[in-house]
Amino acid sequence: MGTPLSEVLAFFDEWKPTLGDMLSSMEKRFTDETIWENVGMSKTTGFAEAKAFMDNFAEMLPIESGEVIVHHASANGNVVLTERTDNFYDKDGKQIVSIKLMGVFEMDGPRILAWRDYFDTAKGFG
């Protein structure tokens, strides 16, 4: 088991190369009580709700893969802050969504207890 920071960074690395890999990583790291909130947009509890949100997101946009570019990350105890860009691609590798955001993770070993992302919802995805 790594530090909270190394576990969050490993979580992002596990998203490659497909959306299925991202979902597998979420299933592995979420508990039944994990709260994932895209502030101003959605809030889920547990993996099943998170997967349903991602399935709906992928229906709106033909997402096949994603990557996370971490610009800055810091930890204090079990809380990890990340400034990052999440990029998502279609089946041909064309970028279709790029989201600049700040994230807060509350960790328990490799498990994510809470994950909140803050981004400009008025701007939308682009």
**Gyration radius (Cα) of the chain, Å:** 14
> Which secondary-structure segment (H or E) carries 45?
strand 42-45
Among the listed residues 55, 90, 108, 117, the single catalytic one is 117
| Catalytic residue list contains 21 | no
φ, ψ (nearest 5 deg) of residue 12: -65, -40
| Catalytic residue list contains 90 | no
Among the listed residues 21, 55, 86, 90, the single catalytic one is 86
Which residues face 81 on adjacent strands? 74, 104
Which residues are known catalytic residues? 86, 117
